[in-house]
Amino acid sequence: MSRATPDFDPTSVDVEGFLRDIRALRTEVDASVSEADHAHLRRIERWGRTATVLGLATCWLMPNPLSALGLGFGRSTRWLLMHHVGHRGYDRVPGAPVERTSKGFAKGRRRFLDWLDWILPDAWVYEHNVLHHSFTGEDADPDLLERNAEGSLRDPNRPLALRYLQLALLAITWRASYYAPETLASLRRKHRPNGPLTRAEWREVLLSGYAPYIAWNFVLLPALFLPLGAWAAFSALCNSLMAEVITNVHTFLVVGPNHTGEDLYRFDSSPEGRGERYLQQVIGSANYRTGGDWNDYLHLWLNYQIEHHVFPDLSMLQYQRVQPKLRALCGKYGIPYVQESVWTRARKMVDIIVGKSSMRRLARLGAAAPASAPASGPIPDVA
């Protein structure tokens, strides 16, 4: 598969031609939107609900991996839905009800039905949809892992084994230990200078984010099985805790490697024009293996990251349609299109985070620079 190579020169790309073809492809994809996109969404949602039901139906018997996997994949499915619906992927789909569009999904009280997570929906939308997608790979990108890991995780003076341990602890807790406070901090910085969360903002994270999630998954859910005995409630609690680890590891595995690796670029300046922006989105992103609903479901549809960063507001079905066409466009213009298995990408992500390798740098379009940047928005030390 195509990979970024040291001799790639972005100035050799016909940016304006690439932009014209991207716009033509977008017109073609938009013309294919139909009720089938909504039907596909509901099918994937049913898979997640089925996993949750299976987990609940068996979680009281004993602590076991089957129940934990069912509950865990159910929670991961809610993340998948929030990602694609929150990106307005179904706003233009015929037949999609308002609660399956960005205008209604996880809004107000529907948060408890659609996406009860550690993370506040509005904070996630601003941090991810606005900041990350507007500044992908730039210093203003809050999800730039190489920069965020500067300090303890990439510190060569710390034992490598300790850095691996810290990363492992982060992977099993990251939604609560890192992403929930970071997304709210990003939202609050919209209205005030940069800085850590204030005491009042931490209280908002605890009361609005952590408390409902903990209450449902680790208090009320086990309590539902108390009529069957203390062992049933204890088993349900154990399976819910194991499901939390599974969901964290699952989401970390498919989210983190999307823009991290020694063959991907980070950028020291913003692109000039939309054509350059599309180019940067491609060479700063990586896909995993694509194709087939089961494969894509296991990857939470984040295996189409290149297509997603060029067209952030497509449905899941449309990503399957557009992927081979966008890849062909990249080949036409000599643009590296990085696609490898999630396991290979995860290994490359780990090497970046612990400081064993570094990403490629573009000081400006067409000019490479050594990898070095001050840390901001650091990943917390959870070791």
pLDDT in tens, 22-57: 999 999 999 999 999 999 999 999 999 999 999 999
Q: Tell me, what's the pLDDT at 184?
A: 87
Look at residue 363 and give its three-state secondary structure.
strand
Q: Is the pLDDT of residue 379 over 90?
A: no
Asked if residue 375 is part of any domain, the answer here is no
Q: Is the pLDDT confidence value at 118 over 60?
A: yes
Q: What is the amino acid identity at position 329?
A: L
* 373 is a domain residue: no
Please determine, for residue 10, whether its predicted confidence score (pLDDT) is greater than 90: no
Say if 321 falls within a structural domain: yes
From residue 111, give the alpha-carbon distance in Å to each of 120, 146, 206: 9, 32, 16
SS3 label, residue 345: helix
What pLDDT is recorded for position 69? 98
CB atoms within 10 A of CB 207: 10
Q: What is the token pair recorded at 319? A: 């990503």
Out of 3-7, 200-204, 227-231, least confident range: 3-7
Q: Tell me, yes or no, whether 377 lies in a domain.
A: no
The arithmetic mean of pLDDT across residues 131-160, rounded, is 93
Q: Are strands 265-267 and 367-368 parallel, antiparallel or unpaired?
A: unpaired
The answer, yes or no, to whether residue 94 has pLDDT greater than 80, is yes
Distance separating alpha carbons of residues 116 and 52, to the nearest angstrom: 14
Kindly report the number of other CB atoms within 10 A of residue 211's CB atom.
11
As a whole number of angstroms, the distance between CA 112 and CA 115 comes to 6
Given a contact cutoff of 8 angstroms between Cβ atoms, the answer to whether 260 and 340 are in contact is: no
The pLDDT assigned to 149 comes to 94
Residue 171 lies in a domain: yes
| Predicted confidence (pLDDT) at residue 97 exceeds the cutoff of 90 | yes
**More confident of the two residues 369 and 165:** 165
Please give the distance of CA 189 from its chain centroid, rounded to a whole number.
21
pLDDT tens for 239-278 read: 999 999 999 999 999 999 999 999 999 999 899 899 999 9
Average pLDDT, the chain: 91
Residue whose structure tokens are 């850590």 = 196
Which residues contact residue 322 at a Cβ distance below 8 angstroms, ignoring those fewer than 6 apart?
25, 29, 307, 311, 314
Q: What is the pLDDT of residue 250?
A: 97
The pLDDT > 70 percentage for the chain reads 92
Q: Can you state the angle between helices 65-86 and 35-58, rounded to 10 degrees?
A: 150
Which parts of the chain are beta strand (E)? Answer: 265-267, 360-364, 367-368
Per-residue pLDDT tens over the stretch 309-363: 999 999 999 999 999 999 999 999 999 999 999 999 999 999 999 999 999 998 7
Predicted confidence at residue 231, as pLDDT, reads: 98
Amino acid at 16: E
Query: Regarding predicted confidence, which is higher, 380 or 325?
Result: 325
Cβ-in-10-Å burial (0-12, 13-18, 19+) of 371 comes to middle
Collapsing DSSP to helix, strand or coil, 71 comes out as: helix
Task: State yes or no: pLDDT of 151 exceeds 90.
Answer: no
- Assess if residue 374 is contained within a domain: no
DSSP 1-19: -----TT--GGGS-HHHHH
Within-domain flag for 289: yes
Evaluate whether residue 249 is within a structural domain.
yes
CA 357 – CA 348 distance, rounded (Å)? 8
Among 170, 187, 184, 182, which residue's Cα sits nearest to residue 143?
182
Cβ atoms of 94 and 34 within 8 Å: the answer is: yes
Which pair of structure tokens corresponds to residue 212? 């409902």
Average the pLDDT over 91-98 and give the result.
94
Q: How many independent structural domains does the chain possess? A: 1
What is the spatial distance between Cα 52 and Cα 355, in angstroms, rounded to a whole number? 38
**pTM attached to this predicted model:** 0.90
State the DSSP string of 295-339.
Answer: HHHHTTTGGGHHHHHHSTT--HHHHHHHHHHHHHHHHHTT----B
Note whether 4 and 263 are within 8 A (CB): yes
Query: Is residue 383's pLDDT more than 50?
Result: no
Q: Are 100 and 85 in contact (CB under 8 A)?
A: yes
* pLDDT of the residue at 378: 55
Could you please report the per-residue DSSP string of 149-186? TTTTTT-TTS-HHHHHHHHHHHHHHHIIIIIHHHHHHH
pLDDT at 2 over 50: no
Question: Sheet of 367-368: strands edge to edge?
Answer: 265-267, 360-364, 367-368
Q: Cα–Cα distance between 266 and 269 in angstroms, integer? A: 9
Residue 125: enclosing H or E segment and its boundaries? none
Q: For position 201, what pLDDT does the model report? A: 80
Residues 185-217: pLDDT tens digits? 888 877 766 667 778 888 888 988 899 999 999
Amino acid present at 273:
G
Structure tokens that stand for 91 in this block: 């706003």
Record the tokens describing residue 13, joined without a space. 């790309």
Domain that holds residue 335: 10-368
Q: Is the pLDDT of residue 122 over 70?
A: yes
